Amino acid sequence: MSMHHNSRAAHDATVRERAERERLVLAAFDSLGAASDREVARHLGFTDLNAVRPRITEMVESGTLLEVSGRKCAITGRTVRTCRMALA
C-alpha cells in the first residue's frame, strides 16, 4: 500500500519541523545549562509550552537530555523538572 503524495509531503514537513524544533531546544540547553521547560520555551520566544515540552520529553527518553532535579522555576516559582544535556 503506498502513501498519497500529499500525505507524504505533509509527513516530510512534520519530520523537518520536529528536527528543527529539536535543534532549537538543544541550542537552548547549550546556552542555558540546566533549565525548566518554561525557561527553554521563554528563551526560544515561545509562550506555549507545547512548543518545546514534547521534544524535551522525547530527548529525556532517548538519553539526549537528563532530568537533574526538581527546583523552583525562576519564572513561576513552582517546583518543576530541570533538565540538562547529557554528557557525551
Most confident of 13-27, 35-49, 64-78: 35-49
Select the more confidently predicted residue: 84 or 2: 84
Q: What is the pLDDT of residues 47-82, one digit of tens each?
A: 999 999 999 999 999 999 999 988 888 788 899 999
Share of the chain above pLDDT 90, in %: 62
Q: What is the CATH number of the domain that holds 53?
A: 1.10.10.10
The residue range of the domain holding 40 is 5-85
As a whole number of angstroms, the distance between CA 24 and CA 78 comes to 25
Q: Is pLDDT at 33 greater than 60 in this prediction? A: yes
- Number of domains within the chain: 1
Residue 49, C-beta contacts closer than 8 angstroms, at least 6 positions apart = 37, 38, 41
